[in-house]
Amino acid sequence: MTFDLAGLLESRRGENFRLHSQYLSPQLPRVLETLGFDRFYTRGAGSYLYDAGGRRYLDLLSGFGVYALGRSHPTVLDALHQALDADLPNLVQLDCALLPGVLAEALVAKAHPGIERVFFTNSGAEAVETAIKFARRATGRGRILYADHAFHGLTTGALSLNGGKEFRKGFGKLLPGVDVVPFGDLEALRRELRKRDVAAFIVEPIQGKGVNVAADEYWPAAEELCRQYKTLLVLDEIQAGMGRTGRFFCHEHWGIQPDIITMSKALSGGYVPVGATLCSAKISDSVFSSMDRAVVHSSTFSTNQLAMVAGLATLHAFDEEDIVDRARRTGDLFAKALAPLVERHEFLHAVRGKGLMIGLVFGPPTSRALRMRWRAVETMRRALFSQLVVVPLFHRHGIITQVAADGMNVVKLLPPLIAGEEEVDYFVAALDDVLTSAEQGSGLFFEVGRTMARGAMRRTRH
Ligand SMILES: Cc1ncc(COP(=O)(O)O)c(C=O)c1O
């Protein structure tokens, strides 16, 4: 008998949260049920998701930035169908297949001239692990620097570079020789680099956790310091890269030329996990320095054909549809439309980020009555206010957003790069509505409380 996917999805519909609780972990279902985010999504198209009840959701999370091209992008979908139909010989291992070479060539062409080689990975964290190993080998040094609030993934090496204690807690000693510097602080960076034992400074161009930005002047100066002390500059472009900020690589905004670049997320086209670590031939050759060391760094699935096809089709769609420039233009539309809300709503202090990596920063209002409301919310739980925005955006308006980091009143938007004026207008009107409610009395507070109470009841039923 054939495997019947449609039949399976139909016959098991609605069991998703129960199965996760029982067989994966009960904690994520708990969180989602409490917020009333438990849905059975049946399809996605462009910037939207649809649930089993037929409700449409504007997806401003994009699978953490994976859906740059939106969902069900026809070019990527068709390319993957072609690849499955062609049933290319895959993972021969004692072979050099064509498509990894073609994708590597295309990625190198997107980067500055010092970037000449690519190592493919299965995830973002693995691309970062690769960067750590390559930098240590190429420099013969052991130390790695990272920035506070950084997020580079959750495997043990990448976790060692994590700026959030909450992620590290309970996992014992991580990599030795790894030290933190404040993000955007040149003097702190200089102090560490001066010791001349740092292999790499690994940093996100815009930090995902909090959408933190450094001053424009920071970047060329940090690059210069790294050069001076022979430390490799590694730009983690896994989230901010691939057009998200209106340039193919975010670091292009500052005209800098990192020694190593990590990418992942959007390169998958939203279908097949893929990551890449880009570097010079010199760095790559230091790792793969002899025939004995031909596979000294490798991973079984890293050049798998479907991932390569997804990557190539994604880059093709980026060029065909002028995605990077569209992202820049839509980013400008967001900035323009959100600015009046900062003026109008005391709770909204600022909008930061670049292009379509947007942080809405909330903080205590100036008027006395609103300040009391703010304090009441924040005393219950630090940074609860941002949930008072995210939850009604979802329930009232069908918009998916996320709190940018634990304990931070910043809501992050990572819209698909194909989003346009319609999505900007819809979101800005919805945010205006939610913030107006937050100012008008305790109604919003009770609304969110009711949602959570219902969620808790559903949880108990399960
Ligand atoms: C900047 C950055 N680096 C690395 C990672 C880790 O990627 P992955 O979750 O694919 O391991 C992420 C994921 O969010 C990220 O945003």
Question: pLDDT tens-digit profile of 36-53?
Answer: 999 999 999 999 999 999
Alpha-carbon gap, residue 361 to 210, rounded angstroms? 9
209 lines ligand 1 (CB under 6 A): no
pLDDT of residue 328: 98
Residue 371, φ and ψ in degrees, nearest 5:
-60, -40
For ligand 1, the distance from its centroid to the CA atom of residue 267, given in whole angstroms, is 13
For ligand 1, the distance from its centroid to the CA atom of residue 238, given in whole angstroms, is 6
pTM greater than 0.75 (yes/no): yes
pLDDT of residue 462: 60
Query: 221: which residues sit within 8 A by CB, 6+ positions away?
Result: 186
152 lines ligand 1 (CB under 6 A): yes
Nearest-atom number in ligand 1 for the CA of 126 is: 11
3-state secondary structure of 355: coil
* Structure tokens that stand for 360 in this block: 């809405």
Name the residue among 443, 344, 448 with its Cα closest to residue 393: 448
CATH number of 17-72+323-461: 3.90.1150.10
Which bin fits 355, alpha (ψ -120 to 50), beta or left (φ > 0)?
A: left
CA-proximal residue: ligand 1, atom 7 (nearest):
124
Q: What is the architecture of the domain spanning 74-320?
A: 3-Layer(aba) Sandwich (3.40)
Query: 23: which residues sit within 8 A by CB, 6+ positions away?
Result: none
Alpha-carbon gap, residue 183 to 204, rounded angstroms? 9
Alpha-carbon gap, residue 114 to 284, rounded angstroms? 12
236 lines ligand 1 (CB under 6 A): yes
- In the chain, helix, strand, coil percent, each to 5? 50, 15, 35
Alpha-carbon gap, residue 386 to 389, rounded angstroms? 5
Which regions in the chain score pLDDT beneath 70? 461-462
238 lines ligand 1 (CB under 6 A): yes
Listed in order, the ranges of the chain carrying CATH 3.40.640.10 are 74-320
pLDDT of residue 285: 98
Query: Which helix (H) or strand (E) covers residue 430, if one does?
Result: helix 421-440
- 115, 108 in Cβ contact below 8 A? yes
Listed in order, the ranges of the chain carrying CATH 3.90.1150.10 are 17-72+323-461
